[in-house]
Amino acid sequence: ALARQRDCWIVGPNTAGIIWPGRLLLGSLAPDDAVPGPVALISRSGTLSFEMVRILSQAGFGQSLCVNVGGDRVIGRNPAEYLRVAAADPGTRAIVLVGEVGGTKEYEAAEVVRSLRGQKPVVAYVAGRSVPRGRTMGHVGAILETDRDTAEHKRRALAAAGAVVVDTPWEVPGALRSLLAG
């Protein structure tokens, strides 16, 4: 609350950080894997942030921004806020959103995705489709308490908002190619 009062952004806690390739690194995202380009990456998962940066770069998609917001229930800024940053950035042509089970952050992000229709395409991947109910997966934010916490519900909400939802991280480059070609 104090950071918001002072118009400051907190990256974290429990996050791999943020990188603007070639310009800024806060945290532990691998600068050698990130290359400048037109795709913003916003992820709740630290591990999937590392992997997605690598997948994007190897497929020829440089990044305008890569941020791991952290997966715990208490975070600095949420994915919806970073989606607005990416949407306002003239150097960003598309956005990749990586979500996971637990919490409501993907539903908040879906509202922003809905507002981006026709402006900037969003490709979304939600991890944890086979997580059993009541089990914490990795950190306290990734727990299934209700149906809304499941990957499937979040995938449907993001698709209804206009995101192209993929089944695996490796499908993201193909989806981006299709969206940016049209």
Q: Which of 139, 148, 153, 156 is catalytic?
A: 139
Rounded-to-10 torsion of CA 105, 107, 110, 114: -140
According to DSSP, the residues that pair with 104 across neighbouring strands are: none
- 153 in catalytic set: no
The alpha-helical segments, DSSP class H, found in the chain are 2-5, 46-58, 79-88, 105-116, 151-161, 172-181
Which of 175, 180, 102 is CA-nearest to residue 145?
102
Main-chain phi, psi angles of 168, to 5 degrees:
-140, 160
For 133, residues 6+ apart whose C-beta sits below 8 A from its C-beta are: 144, 145
Q: Cα 61 from chain centroid?
A: 15
Residues annotated as catalytic are: 139
